Structure 1
Amino acid sequence: MKHPRALLNTIIVATGYLASRVLGLARDVLISNQFGTSAELAAFRASFGILDLIYLVVAGGALGSAFIPVFSAALEQRRDAWRLASAVLNLTLLALVAACTAVWICAAPLVALTVGRGLDEAERALTVDVLRLMLIQPFLLGVGGLAKATLESFNRFALPAIGSNLYNLGIIGGALLGPWFGIYGLVWGVNIGAALFLLVQLPGLRAVGATYRIGRQPSDAHPTRLPFLSFFHAEGVGQVLRLLGPRIFGQSAWQINIIAIVSLASTLGSAALAANAYALQLMMLPHGLIALSLATVLFPDMARQYAAGDRATLRATALGGVRAVLFLALPASAILGVLALPVLRALYQRGAFDDTSAALTAEALAMYALGLAGFAAAEIVVRAFFAMQDTRTPVIVGIGAVALNISLGWSFLELGMGLGGLGLAFSLANLFEATLLLALLGRRLGGLEHDFFRATGAMILATLACALTLALLHRSSYAVLPFVAPGDTYRWPGDFLPILVWLTGATVPGGLVYAGVAALLRVPELGATIARGQRILSRVRLR
């Protein structure tokens, strides 16, 4: 791996994800102020379970993970890579049209049986209406996702990152229209944002020499075949489809898992459904910044290392990525878990998002945070399997994790554990998935190093010390600073700046305790993180 370029790409992707997540927070702040945990927002959030199923299965991560290795190999071997890309695009368009048409026709029974199972008749009707209006979103994101995968094959990460931010800006624009158009302002903001995500990447495709080739060469066996339908004559299409098959199954299982969570949350009422969505979105903030950014950069490198037969470097890249992710994700999980209520108050509690909304969301967030490290680590390990062109293993493990999540979630609800039970089920399932995938990756690449276990154990001890410090600081502040305590104790805007100051004052010592224990136990990632930060700062100063 070329470390300077990898560092630059990581910075680009991490910056893009940071901007995307910051914009996502701004988006959710505006949405929470306007809609709180209302039935309108519940309908909007519920619709995304089905929309994401279309996007992720047809043209999201599934297609990217199958397309990038085959397309990269075609480029390396100087085969007609653009003919392959054109054929895959044609297949993607056909699949998206079919999927969106089917969902439009079956929207009412689909909502009633899945994401709207616990909603009343009026709330279900609103969800159906919102879902149908937003069906243009997965189509645009699907084509944009293929453009993103193509650019990332050339190590071009900037435009896809910009596109993700423009998508959020579109939704923010829709949220600002909320006072006039209600939830429909958000709906059209989503569609406009999806269009911007695709359009901004088109100049990048032109820069890398992309050409749309409808299909045939003069030597093809069927000269009378319609060009648009000549999918399978491009070399490599069959390989993409073979890799895509298990991945589609896995993505379907994962999104069914999310739909099941939404469905279970809906049985607790529309407010619980909306609160659960806020908690999941907030948990995804550190996941996107820490895990997705690094995994996006490492995936093409690991694919090239596997193609070159360099197993030792692939093993070092994968395990090094997991350790780097764990080092940052573990303290983030402690902060979100222990300080869930103060964090939510500082971010969202204003306007329609009241103390009841904050308490509901905090109940879920505290439990979701427990699984953040496993969720983040699995992102790297899954990409390592995909780089080895093995989509079957992570899919089988993922299906097991989904089954565990759904069964635990249903059981915990039956025991009266509420939204916290759904969050705990999600966390346990993700920890199971990450642990099993790591064990299988170790077997594939010659075993996990002793240093890996020692460093991971030391990080866990440092996290426990950090969590204990945060819990003591939080509990000891109740009497003096009531706005951090549970109940109707927080007032906007008077308590906003004080709670921000308190959060800073609590997280800094918590972070110092984590770093101190990590230094005492000689965790290498501490020095690597500090060095990486110094290199980034030096680059900024030079500019």
Structure 2
Amino acid sequence: MATDTAEGRDESGTPGEGAESGSGSTGGAMRSSAVMAVGTMASRITGFVRTIVLAAALGTQLLGDAYNTANTIPFIINDLLIQGLMASVIIPFLVKRRKSDADGGRATEDRLFTAAVVLLFVVSAVAVASARWLLELYAGGFTGQQMEVAVYLARFLLAQIFFVGLSGLISAMLNTRDRFGAPVWAPVLNNLVIISVGLAFVWVALPGRTPENVSQGELTLLGLGTACGMAAQTVALVAALWRTGFRWRPRLDLRGSGLGEALRTAGWMFLYTVTTQVGFLITTNIATRAGSESVQEGYGVGAGLTAYNYAYQLFQLPYAIIAVSLITVLLPRMSAQAHDGLWNEVRDGFSRTLRVSALVLVPLSLAMAVYAVQLSVVVFARGSTSTADAHNIGIVLAVMSLGLVPFSIFQLMLRVFYAMSDTRTPAMISIANVAVHGTLAVCAFLLLPPNLVVVGVAAGFMLSFVSGLIIAGTILSARLGGLDGRRILGTLVRLHLAAAPAVGAAIGVLWLFSRQFGEGLATNLGAPIAGSLLGAVLFLGAARLLRIAELQSVIGLVRARLGR
């Protein structure tokens, strides 16, 4: 989720040298984003390795679906109760209180931290006690031993709710202090723990484990080890917050704190989160049923929730590294601008962030679509995941990749609404998104063979963001007196035109490698590398010919930094 900062501060909380104003400069935002991008890349790379290890250990069929469904539920519950409030309510609230309170918002933070600890502990305990009911809700397609394995794992994994929620709050508090490093580096520790757990599972268990032959000790290793990874991440964030000078003093005197007023605006955000989780509930049930049917009907591939989740993790990698880094720095600045009524600056910040993100996301999304199958085979086809399983992940990834740009634009639009303290509009838009996604997902389940259902679900998910950004863009344009739409559209069109020669070259390279080397490693690894290098040269050349201004700005910034 997006994070938050109001103004530059040193370790003691006082304004530091080089602190940027609420409006900030383009270079300052991009430099801060670059710092975050390094940490985010480390986090995502280790997360990528974690996914590879888990895929090799558990596969993408019944056991993999059991683990991934059980491990998804704590994050769903956290989204419903905590995480969704961060960008929309808590972050703007902390920004305002740090600017307006005589103590810089310290008392407010103590109250908020106390309330979060109590709430998260209670919710975690209730969730662990309700593990079977939650699994039946999200995985109606599980039966027999697969359900028993998922419930056993969930008893450990649902404890993560406490640590996930607390990590989100601490990250927001760190970002209000202009501390972006720890929130993007702490997940690396979590990933390393889970990688170790996955490798230990591979060492103690044979490949091809199923719900019928996996032992309780092996399941305990998976469940307890995964939960310990999130606990380690939270401890690292607590230490980082402590170093900023924050000392938690438990307070439950919430009356008059302003938190109640802020949370009253969360009603619409709660509706938004519930609506999106209804969409995920549909996805989960359809995907788990399709995965079970695919195995039972002899298709021989993992085509359920695990395949969908692994494709989605690869899909989000460029968005997380590029767009999230820019958005994280932009949101607090945009919140301050909206609070002061500086709508022109809000519009300019939105336009600039979108166009700079698109400079990378457009060619990346097209390259991913071309090489999705080859990349998935290289990444996942080992251990308990067969080449056919990996191929199916690649098909899902190819469909998702075509929706990367609409997905990113929509997420950025949501941040503009949140900066304006408007949670009602995103909630209403989400209803339309889920209607599109849900309808297409159900159609996919009814019309497609089990091994291709998740491909249809992925297509419906991406199309829902196209409809969502059209609605959101229309509303924002009316409120802000325009969204710099002509400039944004012009940039997007030129970027796609610049990418056209690169796409053609990428397809040609893949054809040549396949003809020369067949479907082996030389093609699966060599074609993406050669095609991407050639495509990058062609894209940059075409972008310069088309005089895409964002490219010149980025090149100028890089040269200035290297010249120092």
User: TM-score normalized by structure 2?
Assistant: 0.86
Note if contact 2:290-2:445 (Cα within 8 Å) is conserved in structure 1: no
**Bigger mean CA offset, 42-51 vs 89-98:** 89-98
Q: Which runs of 5+ in 1 are unaligned?
A: 216-227, 484-489
The alignment status of 1:186 with 2:222, answered yes or no, reads: yes
CA displacement at 1:21 relative to structure 2: 0.8
CA displacement at 1:132 relative to structure 2: 1.6
Equivalent residue letter for 1:257? G
Note if contact 2:396-2:458 (Cα within 8 Å) is conserved in structure 1: yes
Q: 1:106-146: per-residue Cα shift (whole Å, max 9, x none)?
A: 322331232x2222321111111111211221101211211
**Bigger mean CA offset, 198-207 vs 332-341:** 198-207
The alignment status of 1:259 with 2:281, answered yes or no, reads: yes
Matching of residues 53-68 of structure 1 within 5 Å: 53-68=76-91
**Bigger mean CA offset, 203-212 vs 160-169:** 203-212
| SS of aligned partner of 2:248 | coil
The alignment status of 1:421 with 2:456, answered yes or no, reads: yes
Distance 1:498 1:457 in 2: 31
The alignment status of 1:474 with 2:510, answered yes or no, reads: yes
CA displacement at 1:464 relative to structure 2: 4.2
**Bigger mean CA offset, 36-45 vs 56-65:** 56-65
Q: Which residue of 2 aligns with 1:112?
A: 136
| SS of aligned partner of 2:531 | helix
CA displacement at 1:73 relative to structure 2: 1.2
| SS of aligned partner of 1:27 | helix
Equivalent residue letter for 1:375? F
Distance 1:176 1:66 in 2: 40
Note if contact 1:163-1:197 (Cα within 8 Å) is conserved in structure 2: yes
CA displacement at 1:286 relative to structure 2: 1.0
CA displacement at 1:166 relative to structure 2: 1.4
The alignment status of 1:248 with 2:270, answered yes or no, reads: yes
Note if contact 1:53-1:256 (Cα within 8 Å) is conserved in structure 2: no
Distance 2:126 2:447 in 1: 37
Q: Which residue of 2 aligns with 1:92?
A: 116
Change beyond 3 A, Cα 1:369–1:409: same
Q: 1:379-438: per-residue Cα shift (whole Å, max 9, x none)?
A: 222111111111111222123212211111111222215222111111101222223222
CA displacement at 1:506 relative to structure 2: 0.7
Q: 1:429-461: per-residue Cα shift (whole Å, max 9, x none)?
A: 122222322222222111132222211222233
Note if contact 1:291-1:377 (Cα within 8 Å) is conserved in structure 2: no
The alignment status of 1:509 with 2:534, answered yes or no, reads: yes
Note if contact 1:49-1:262 (Cα within 8 Å) is conserved in structure 2: no
Q: Which residue of 2 aligns with 1:437?
A: 472
Note if contact 1:291-1:379 (Cα within 8 Å) is conserved in structure 2: no
| SS of aligned partner of 1:326 | helix
Q: Which residue of 1 aligns with 2:487?
A: 451
Change beyond 3 A, Cα 1:248–1:12: farther
Q: Which residue of 1 aligns with 2:303?
A: 272
Distance 2:72 2:281 in 1: 5
Note if contact 1:9-1:155 (Cα within 8 Å) is conserved in structure 2: no
Change beyond 3 A, Cα 1:209–1:467: same
Q: Which residue of 2 aligns with 1:312?
A: 344
Distance 2:433 2:421 in 1: 21
Note if contact 1:82-1:212 (Cα within 8 Å) is conserved in structure 2: no
Note if contact 1:374-1:430 (Cα within 8 Å) is conserved in structure 2: yes
2:248 to 212, 218, 228: 212
**Bigger mean CA offset, 154-163 vs 83-92:** 83-92
Note if contact 1:462-1:517 (Cα within 8 Å) is conserved in structure 2: yes
Equivalent residue letter for 2:321? L
The alignment status of 1:373 with 2:405, answered yes or no, reads: yes
**Residue identity (%):** 25
Distance 1:64 1:261 in 2: 24
Q: Which runs of 5+ in 2 are unaligned?
A: 1-22, 205-216, 293-301
Change beyond 3 A, Cα 1:185–1:312: same
Distance 2:102 2:474 in 1: 36
Q: CA RMSD, aligned part only?
A: 2.1
Note if contact 1:295-1:380 (Cα within 8 Å) is conserved in structure 2: yes
1:235 to 257, 261, 264: 257
Distance 1:27 1:128 in 2: 22
| SS of aligned partner of 2:514 | coil
| SS of aligned partner of 1:59 | helix
Note if contact 1:39-1:123 (Cα within 8 Å) is conserved in structure 2: yes
Equivalent residue letter for 1:368? M
Note if contact 2:124-2:160 (Cα within 8 Å) is conserved in structure 1: no
